[in-house]
Copies of this chain bind each other. A is one copy, B any other.
């Protein structure tokens, strides 16, 4: 591991966040250095600051990769809600949530009983993450433990910080995809022992959503989380109105959808709830008090016609809810976090608000780390943080390059990137201080 203790340094404009702009305002939260150096050793960031000040402090002989003024270095992007097994079924046509699950998702997920298949998809999925500057995620596998092993084995090779887990699902799905309360508990427990805290890997206890678990399984899930409170708990809530109505039917004694999870002790720090579009004010309050997080997945919410999450409402200063960004592939339509931010802006606009580029980039990095209680490890650039970074090319296509020639300031440049950028904007991705992806050279039309 000699190579990994060598210092690697990159130079260019750097954007990072010291605090939460939704709470303290953008000026206080955001740090922009127009010419900075970030040095990384042993998986951690060791130096960060203006190039002139940092250069002399680096170990003698440190090579500095200068990306130049038309780039932007930020913390790696984090995807707080994504289903890796759905990679082969992105763009499945014509249905809203519940029919989409039955028609496309459940048939696809049955293929993951085959670990070799799972491994092949995991490789494609993780490579696509790197191509899009995504360095961490909170990931759903399938009901099959071998699909979790496959993903973690591949992520371990790359040294990525990931949370993932086996789906718990003992009803309302095809027979082959069902576990039982006992097998689900036992399999999850084994996987936690094997993977949770191994290197950078973390386990996420993963009941798919209330309709596919019996009360009995939800209870066992709550017990399991209590036994392993430093694990994640991820599930879905209030994505689609039909789903909300169905949950009401299935759990008539509960006050609402979130209360089902709450009742079974599934709210709290490190609980990550996908979507939450239709949560009531009371439920938002409960999210806030319990320290639970919502993953906002705009491309998916539009694609399935679920609605448009009101981010400003969730972030209300009097009871802020932790919110992360999610691609939610394969209902999501893009691995690109920039494309996802474009859609987050559109969701905000449909709610009558705007989402500034600074707030958006916070959301994609430190904000999602905050939602996942990982902001002491990832999501920002500072000495001591884990060295996951992405280098963006600010002129990645002919039309973006042209648009940048009419750009007046950094805020606008950032907004142009999130509105018009895609995977091509990712010039390089570093995982734990090592170059993990570098964009091939492009010819221009």
Contacts and interface: CB of A to CB of B under 8 A. Distances in A.
Interface of A: 87-91, 93-96, 124, 127-128, 131, 302-305, 307-308, 333-335, 342-343, 345-346, 348-352, 354, 356-357, 397-399, 402-403, 405-406, 411-412, 415-416, 419-420, 422-423, 437, 439-445
Contacts of A399: 90, 124, 128, 131, 335, 423
Contacts of A420: 90-91, 333-334
Given A305-B352, A399-B335, A412 B93 contact: yes
Contacts of A402: 87-88, 124
Contacts of A354: 93-95
Contacts of A398: 127-128, 131
10 contacts: A88-B403, A93-B415, A94-B356, A95-B354, A128-B399, A131-B398, A302-B349, A305-B346, A305-B349, A442-B443
Contacts of A95: 354
Given A89-B406, A333-B342, 14 more contacts: A88-B402, A90-B403, A90-B416, A90-B420, A91-B415, A96-B352, A302-B346, A303-B346, A303-B419, A304-B349, A305-B346, A305-B352, A335-B399, A439-B445
Tell me the number of copies of this protein.
2
Nearest to A307: B350
Contacts of A422: 422
A434 B351 CA distance: 46
B342 A416 contact: no
A335 B422 CA distance: 14
A349 B298 CA distance: 13
A209 B180 CA distance: 62
Contacts of A351: 305
Contacts of A403: 88, 90-91
A346 to B, nearest CB: 4
Contacts of A442: 440, 442-443
Given A398-B128, A422-B422, A302 B90 contact: no
Contacts of A346: 302-303, 305
Closest 3 CB pairs of A and B: A305-B349, A440-B443, A91-B419
A441 B439 contact: no
Contacts of A308: 350
Contacts of A444: 440
Most B CB contacts (10 A, CB to CB) among A91, A348, A349, A356 go to: A91
Nearest to A424: B424
Most B CB contacts (10 A, CB to CB) among A305, A351, A444 go to: A305
Contacts of A305: 346, 348-352
A4 to B, nearest CB: 23
Contacts of A94: 354, 356
A346 B121 CA distance: 26
Contact of A303 (B349, B357, B439): B349
A21 to B, nearest CB: 15
A185 to B, nearest CB: 33
Contacts of A443: 440-442
A335 B419 CA distance: 12
A93 B445 contact: no
A390 to B, nearest CB: 14
A416 B423 CA distance: 17
Nearest to A132: B399
Contacts of A405: 88
Contacts of A345: 303
Most B CB contacts (10 A, CB to CB) among A93, A124, A354, A440 go to: A93
Nearest to A303: B346
A3 to B, nearest CB: 22
A416 B88 contact: no
Nearest to A426: B445
A419 B304 contact: no
A415 B95 CA distance: 13
B131 A445 contact: yes
A281 to B, nearest CB: 22
A332 to B, nearest CB: 10
A131 B343 CA distance: 23
A445 to B, nearest CB: 5
